[in-house]
């Protein structure tokens, strides 16, 4: 964050997602890459990212839940502010959007992350189900996703955390 804030030449926002959020929140010890969304993109952000990758030997990828599933309503308002470095503001991408994307993907590591989100109270099962219901009609715009299969994954997950 400090390096990106130092080298960015203008204001903007950086949203952490995936393993980066999980590590920063203490839900796991490590991640293989840093997933980011830039919106709006700070001027010089890509130059800063290139420098970060080289100086810190980190893999940085542009990836966020809205690339894989529809963004739940009011997602922007649920982004958690982390801090400001220079003119750049840093946030965690909406944890509910992250949780839904991880459930849809269904990898074991992702499900452990979402379980930690629920157990720490960062994500509530009832709102998670409600937000899924709201994005379900928009899944038509994501032809690689089967809405019934996604719903079944969510139901299995919710049953597992309630037992």
126-163: pLDDT as tens digits: 999 999 999 999 999 999 999 999 999 999 999 999 98
CA–CA dist 154, 147 (Å, integer): 11
Is residue 37 helix, strand or coil?
Answer: strand
CA–CA dist 92, 157 (Å, integer): 22
Report, as an integer, the average pLDDT of 71-95.
97
Report, as an integer, the average pLDDT of 82-104.
97
| Per-residue pLDDT at 132 | 98
| Per-residue pLDDT at 55 | 85
| Per-residue pLDDT at 105 | 97
Cis omega (within 30 of 0) on the bond before 14? no
Give the model's confidence band at 78: pLDDT under 50 very low, under 70 low, under 90 confident, else very high. Answer: very high
| Per-residue pLDDT at 163 | 80
CA–CA dist 132, 100 (Å, integer): 7
38 forms beta bridges with 14
The proportion of the chain whose per-residue pLDDT surpasses 70, expressed as a percent, equals 100
Confidence check: pLDDT of 57 > 90 = no
Confidence check: pLDDT of 94 > 90 = yes
Contact present, 131 and 78 (Cβ < 8 Å): no
What's the pTM value of the predicted model, to 2 decimals? 0.94
């Amino acid at each position: 964050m400090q390096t990106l804030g130092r080298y960015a030449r203008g204001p903007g926002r950086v949203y952490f997602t995936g393993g980066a959020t999980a590590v920063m929140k203490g839900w796991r010890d490590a991640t293989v890459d840093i997933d980011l969304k830039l919106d709006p993109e700070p001027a010089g952000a890509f130059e800063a990212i290139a420098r970060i990758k080289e100086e810190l030997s980190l893999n940085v990828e542009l990836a966020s839940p809205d690339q894989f599933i529809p963004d739940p309503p009011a997602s922007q308002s649920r982004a958690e502010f982390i801090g400001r470095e220079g003119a750049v503001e840093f946030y965690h991408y909406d944890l509910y959007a992250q949780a839904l994307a991880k459930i849809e993907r269904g990898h074991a590591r992702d499900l452990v992350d979402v379980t930690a989100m629920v157990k720490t109270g960062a994500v509530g099962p009832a709102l998670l189900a409600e937000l899924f219901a709201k994005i379900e009609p928009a899944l038509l715009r994501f032809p690689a996703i089967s809405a019934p299969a996604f719903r079944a994954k969510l139901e299995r997950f919710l049953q597992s955390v309630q037992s």
